[in-house]
Amino acid sequence: MVSTSSSASIIPPPRPPRSYSYHVFLSFRGEDTHTGFTSHLYAALNRKGITTYKDDKNLRKGDVISDKLLKSIEESMFAVIVLSPNYASSTWCLGELCKILDCKNNMGQHMVAVFYGVEPCDVRHQIGTFEEAFKKHEQRHESEKANRWREALTNVAACSGWSSKNKDEAALVENIAQHIFEILIPKLPSSMKNLVGIDSRVQQVISLMGLGLNHVRYIGIWGMGGIGKTTIARAVFETIQSRFEVACFLANVREQSEKKDIVHIQKQLLNQMNISSTDVYCDYDGTRIIQNSLRLKRVLLVLDDVNDEEQLENLAGEEDWFGPGSRIIITTRDTHLLEEQGVHETYEVEGLVKSEAFNLFCSKAFKRPEPTEGFLDLSKEVVEYSGGLPLALRVLGSHLFGRSIKVLHSAIEDIKNSSHSKIIDVLKISYDGLRDKEKDIFLDIACFFNGRDKGDVTKILEGCGHDAEIGIDILINKSLVTIDEYDTLRMHDLLEEMGKQIVMQESPNDASRRSRLWCYKDVDSVLTQKKEIEATTRSIVLDNMVLDIEGNYTDSNIRVLAFSNICQLKLLILDHVQTPILCDIPCTLKVLHWRHCPMVTLPFADQHYELVEIDLSYSGIVSLWDGKKFLNKLEHLNLSVSNLKQTPDLSGAPNLKTLHLEECRELNYIHPSLAHHKSLVELNLRECRSLETLEDKLEISSLKKLDLCNCTSLRRLPEFGECMKQLPILTLSRVKLNLPKTIVNLVGLSEVDFGDCEFTGVSLSLALPERPSSLRELQAHRCGSLDASNVNDVISKACCVFAESATQDREDFLQMLIPGKEIPGWFEHQEEDNGVSVSFLHNCPNSTETVALALCFQIKCNTFFDEKPTVICNGKEFINCSLKTFNRKRKSVLPQYLPLFALLPTALGSHNSCQKFLNILQLQIAEPAGYLTFSRSSYITCSLKLKEWIPALPTLVYDDFLQMILEVVH
């Protein structure tokens, strides 16, 4: 775009006109440009959706300009004046020019001048063909009119404009059309006007788009149905579309694909881009034409509500389909689609905050920002119910508009009992797209597990036969479920309500024909109906946490627990329900949870059961069952904090993996079947204070964790069979007992807790299996067997074993904290500081020789803290620890020393390549001011042949003592 000033500018209007019939008015000399330049410009403007007035009806007759033309000029936002050689010869053109200048000055109309085949100076000074034209005008018209025309030409020539001189006409036409488009679009009325909360969200999306970058970029907008994805995408599209050569918003891709096919959508895309779609007969044709037509253009494409990979493959498959700087926005409920497409950025749409939700509801329900007097509490109730979902707020607000407060109360209760169909229909789209197994998991979460820990729910669902991990992941991807920072499953209240409605619609009038029951009234009805009526219920979940006026749990009128007529029951959760079972446990049951169960035993029959998990914690159970029961599939049994006195016969549960009996204070007998179990992985007897003995010998080859913490009556441990070499975790804290000699069989120990222990007749160094190469964590805080006579043996053994075993090609870690005031003397070098330097000879600089370093810091802690002291090696951070310590009992300074066992490649210590034979390690621990005092440091080193490795960041664990973990990754 050029002019006498080499640039063009558009003077902003003082105020916009009230209404427009046209976006652009074309003023041109027909005989010069009607079938050429002006025709091409008209077509280019139309391709961009710009409504343009062009006199195709030959209204220019006579000497007086028609009123219709004058009105068309007034009702246009833009006027384009094509100043061609014979423009001034037409009094009509000169009249249009005067009117355009008048509208520009008085109504703020935009004006664009195009100097087509003429020089701006010819127009300004009326020379050449313009001079000849005015000679004729001055003969035929009054001088005043001719002077007004001259002044108009002078004024328009003074404005910057476009020149056709030495320009490609096609490119000139496109540039002018784009220039008008960029200025016009922001001034057009927007459907996004006055939308609550939209501006900040639009800016967040635009910030992800990288509009200044020249590569193609895909942006995802992801969220649940009704959350506002399409609205945000539309607002972004309207905001930035003027920056692109071509722009297309394809709405409702999912719905169009279902009703028609992908070819129809491809044609729609091409048509919106003003590209012929007549040769598209199949999806391959469409893909080919889209790619070839758009690969050199800067494109803005929005694909709204995509739900299938095939849609993306056929509409925007690859980046090289589009020209540099193109942007493709995809809105979807399924984040997995975005990951598969490889989008550059994803914007997750969240619900409106309460203030935004309140404003949106009021704008629909009361047509004002605030509720009518007397409606405030009701408005807050609806806003709370909507959960910040814009769709729900709009629908409910419109539904309640104009109703009296009495009717409004009734309408709100009706909506709560059965959600508005418009809301449910939108939400249900995502559910309908699930497979049957995923639908089952969704309904279980909606009916039972919203707000429960993800790990717990996963375990329950897997026990019921579901592939829960991948199923929940799919629900998360499809915006049906979220996981909060506490790993809790969260589902929007309206989605939960929709799920419950789906189950209730399975049999609206007969609860026994529904797959899931969670309402006490329905459960009571089903359990008390006639036995000959067979129920098809598969899951019953009750959690009786309702308190009566005296503060006791109520039974919510459950009269009887009899399941003889429920032949398909798989999941039964009766937490806090105080009604006893009056019949046998259903054999089809897979998961049974009954915390606070009132019964002393459960009625198991002599038949095969499908149970995978039983949780009867906090119950009155004394004896779970009598004799041998057939539970071949049972994997998890939890009787913690119960009245259990003896463990059941587990010979009929050969696949049991976890047995939790912690805090069974009355437990005094372990059934012999436990000692030889072949599948048990975890045995937890923590706080079983009445237990005096286990079996004479344990031969559980599968056991990975044995916890006997605080079993204060335990006199001795059983012998450990040779098959228990792989037991990695042993907890014996807070006990006084005799250790069997066969503890040396536990050569696979990696984590040992001897805190607050006293081993009769044996020191701690002897208590450990001889040189346990796998040992990486030793807790011996306040261990009575750890004294000055053997502490060095324990630490040096751990250090040497660590150094030797680290030659294995695996991840290793070692952690240890020793209470005491003095660093052991076997640390070769000590300094009164928080840093230490290590020097040693290195005879083979090109080998894989590695230094094993034992580093120790004496530490005193004055208070509770959560800081990160850092070990620095040659100026580079080597260890970053999170320390937590506090002597809760004595509330005084804790003197203790911290042995760190590490492996350092010798290259880490080299200052430069010239020092081939001498390595210097300067190690320092940075002190968190005001919390720790490092009074002494020390080290020893040895040399080992190892493969290359990388030291990983250590962590420290708090449990009234310190534990240092230093990982070594080979």
Instruction: Name the percent of the chain in helix, strand, coil, to the closest 5.
Output: 35, 20, 45
Return phi, psi of residue 779, to 5°. Answer: -110, 120
Contact yes or no for 900/941 (Cβ under 8 A): no
Start-to-end CA distance of the chain, whole Å, equals: 64
The pair of three-digit structure tokens given for residue 563, joined into one six-digit string: 């399941």
Other CB atoms within 10 Å distance of the CB of residue 832: 8
**DSSP assignment string, 624-655:** S-SSB-B-TT--EEE-TTS---BPPB-TT-TT
* Residue labelled with tokens 């605030």: 370
**Residue 934: strand pairing partners:** 859
Nearest-angstrom CA–CA distance, 456 and 442: 15
3-state SS, one letter per residue, for 48-65: CCCCEECCCCCCCCCCCC
**Which residues have CB under 8 Å from 398's CB, separation 6+?**
364, 365
The DSSP output letter for 187 is G
Report, as residue numbers or ranges, the catalytic residues: 96
Provide the sign of the torsion angle of the four alpha carbons 100, 101, 103, 107, taken in this order.
positive
309 exposure class (CB count in 10 Å sphere: 0-12, 13-18, 19+):
middle
CA dihedral 732, 736, 737, 738 (to 10 degrees): 110
DSSP string, 739-754: PPGGGGG-TT--EEE-
- Alpha carbon separation from 717 to 130, 714, 896 (Å, rounded): 115, 8, 31
Token duo for residue 659: 């047995």
Lookup: tokens for 126: 């009326």
Torsion sign (Cα): 218, 223, 225, 228: negative
Q: How far apart (Å, rounded) are the C-alpha atoms in residues 944 and 941?
A: 10
User: Of 834, 937, 856, whose CA–CA distance to 901 is shortest?
Assistant: 856
Q: Which two tokens stand for residue 167?
A: 């320009």
Answer whether 96's CB lies under 8 Å from 68's CB. Answer: no
Handedness of CA 834, 840, 846, 851 (dihedral sign): negative
**Structural tokens at position 893:** 């300074």
- Which ranges of 115-240 would DSSP assign to H, the alpha helix? 120-125, 129-140, 143-158, 169-184, 198-209, 229-240
From CA 703, how far away is CA 730, in angstroms rounded? Answer: 10
Angstrom distances, CA of residue 5 to CA of 120, 157, 171, 176: 10, 11, 21, 17
Round to whole Å and give the CA distance between 622 and 602: 10
Which residue type, as a one-letter code, is found at position 492? H
CA distance 559 to 579: 7
| Residues 819, 890: Cα–Cα separation, whole Å | 14
Site of tokens 């580079």: 876
Report H helices in 306-375: 309-315, 335-341, 354-365
Element (H, E) at 838: strand 835-841
| Torsion angles phi and psi, residue 719, rounded to 5 | -70, 145
Nearest residue to 670 (alpha-carbon basis) of 700, 656, 649: 649
CB-based contact 917:843 (threshold 8 Å): yes
